[in-house]
Amino acid sequence: MVSIPANVLNLINRPDSMKVMSTCSKDGMPHVIACGSVFTPDDSTLAVGEVIMKVTSANLVDNGMASFMVISGAEAYQIDAKARQRLTEGDLLDGLNVKLDRIHLKAVAVWLFDVTAVTVASANDEAGKRIA
């Protein structure tokens, strides 16, 4: 488990940044979704609301690995993570659903992930550099 650098935490938690989540089936088929419900309960954990995530959730049950891309303008980072837990009740889920209710969505669960690596994905000389 690694700590997410402060600038990347800020980017993840900004509502205007784009978040993409990738998983892979047990047969090796990649699956990618736009994922607006990504947030950080602490600096080494990613959390994602399970909102219409049938294939993604099945992939997480099968292998537990995910990769996230967070983008704003020319700034981008890849965050690799391993699923730790799926919460179907509690404060994290309740708080997320308060926010999602504003856009008429509801999460049935929150997935928690341990961050394993953070890599620069921006189109510059730092691209590919692991920063955590």
Encoded tokens for 96? 């997320």
Structural domains in the chain, CATH included, are 6-120 (2.30.110.10)
Average pLDDT (21-32) is 96
Encoded tokens for 107? 């999460």
Provide the pLDDT for residue 1.
Answer: 80
- pLDDT tens track for 73-131: 999 999 999 999 999 999 999 999 999 999 999 999 999 999 999 999 999 999 999 99
Angular region, 52: left φ>0, alpha ψ -120 to 50, beta rest: left
